[in-house]
Amino acid sequence: MSTQLDRNIPPNFNKSILISVLLPEVIRTHKYNDDTYISAITEFEIECEARLKELFSRIGIQSSTKSDRFSLPYKHEVIGEIEGNSYLNYAFDIDNIARVFVKDLIEKNANKIRFYLFAEVVTEDETIGKRYKGKVVYKFRYMIHF
């Protein structure tokens, strides 16, 4: 049984912040719709989780993810945001936000965790206007094992 979370799908796929994550999936499938976006962002999240596991192992934190990613009953959540930039891939580089997650784990003295990463791309902000470059909101949800 696959567990899914409700995703906020951007209303407009023509925003530049989506190019780096969405374009490879569009080229692969030749489709440009909600399913393509969900597939692309899910693949991105899984790649980020793999990089985070590697980072955590380097600093002595044992980490794992479940095969049914969102079924983890998390107790801790760290939310980080990266604003869109003229360098399109900047918001999608997990290294730019990973220190926020590591800091939280170190403060809690966590040395064994189970986690998943949930990423949302925000392309519209009515308060900023047309020049808004967007942002990526990362939700790092985890459970500490003893």
Q: How many domains does the chain have?
A: 1
Query: What is the predicted pLDDT for the residue at 2?
Result: 46
> Tell me, what amino acid is at 41?
I
pLDDT tens digit at each of 146 positions of the chain: 345 678 888 887 778 888 888 888 888 888 888 888 999 999 999 999 999 999 999 999 999 998 888 888 899 999 999 988 878 788 899 999 999 999 999 999 999 999 999 999 988 776 666 677 889 999 999 999 87
Distance, in Å, from the CA atom of 67 to the CA atom of 70, rounded to the nearest integer, reads: 9
In 3D, which of 49, 50, 61 has the Cα closest to residue 138? 49
Query: What is the predicted pLDDT for the residue at 124?
Result: 79
Whether 4 is covered by a domain: the verdict is no
Whether 6 is covered by a domain: the verdict is no
Whether 131 is covered by a domain: the verdict is yes
Longest dimension (CA), the chain: 48
Query: What is the predicted pLDDT for the residue at 126?
Result: 63
Whether 81 is covered by a domain: the verdict is yes
